[in-house]
Amino acid sequence: MAWTALSPVTVVGPGGRTQFVIDRPGVRVQVHQVLRGRVRISCTGCPLDLRSEQGWIQRNALVTDEGVSLDGLVQGTSGADPFPSQDATLERFRTETWPDPVSTMLAWRKRWARGEDLPEGASPGDLCFLVDQGLSMDGAGAISESRGGLLALKRRDQGWYLAEVVAPELEKTSPWTCDVRSEDR
């Protein structure tokens, strides 16, 4: 799994023709092939009409859930678990900051995927669905909204933190999970 580290990201096809543009940072993609300087992807976090589309993007446009770009450059966390202590309280995590909104979102996604600190009534798949849609940026923060759900990140000093989360209302039979192998059937 990987996510767009920036936006816009132009996805190109044969002859360098633009297939589509991913206009939000933090959108989840499936990596199919990695070559020098470019990656063939399908956009699993894009709207349904684009999910089966494949194309090529620059390698430095992606980051993994470990906060490392495909070029091996540290983008967010150093690859270490941003939530090392299971004894720490949720309030501590709400005050923790990361250098950018995508790192912040992916750190929380990792925690929620493990079933930790879920809002009441939410499943890991509900929150991964919300995260994987990517972020809309404004001057003071970043948000992801879908199906009644909300993920709000705010800027404080030199970092970003989770300000609010409301789980989306997904059908109980939704196939969306935090595991890419289950989702891309």
- The two structure tokens encoding residue 43: 């956009």
Q: Strand 136-137 to strand 2-4: parallel, antiparallel, or no bridges (unpaired)?
A: unpaired
Residue 70: predicted pLDDT: 58
Dist. CA 129–CA 111, nearest whole Å: 14
Residue 84: predicted pLDDT: 43
Residue 77: predicted pLDDT: 35
Kindly give the parts of the chain with pLDDT less than 50: 72-89, 180-185
Q: How far apart are the first and last CA of the chain?
A: 15
10 Å CB burial of residue 82 (0-12, 13-18, 19+) is: buried
Residue 87: predicted pLDDT: 42
Residue 2 β-bridge partners:
29
Which domains are assigned to the chain? 2-63 (2.30.30), 90-183 (no CATH)
Residue 82: predicted pLDDT: 44
Confirm if 106 and 67 have CB atoms less than 8 A apart: yes
Q: Strand 141-146 to strand 136-137: parallel, antiparallel, or no bridges (unpaired)?
A: antiparallel
Dist. CA 162–CA 155, nearest whole Å: 9
Residue 91: predicted pLDDT: 58
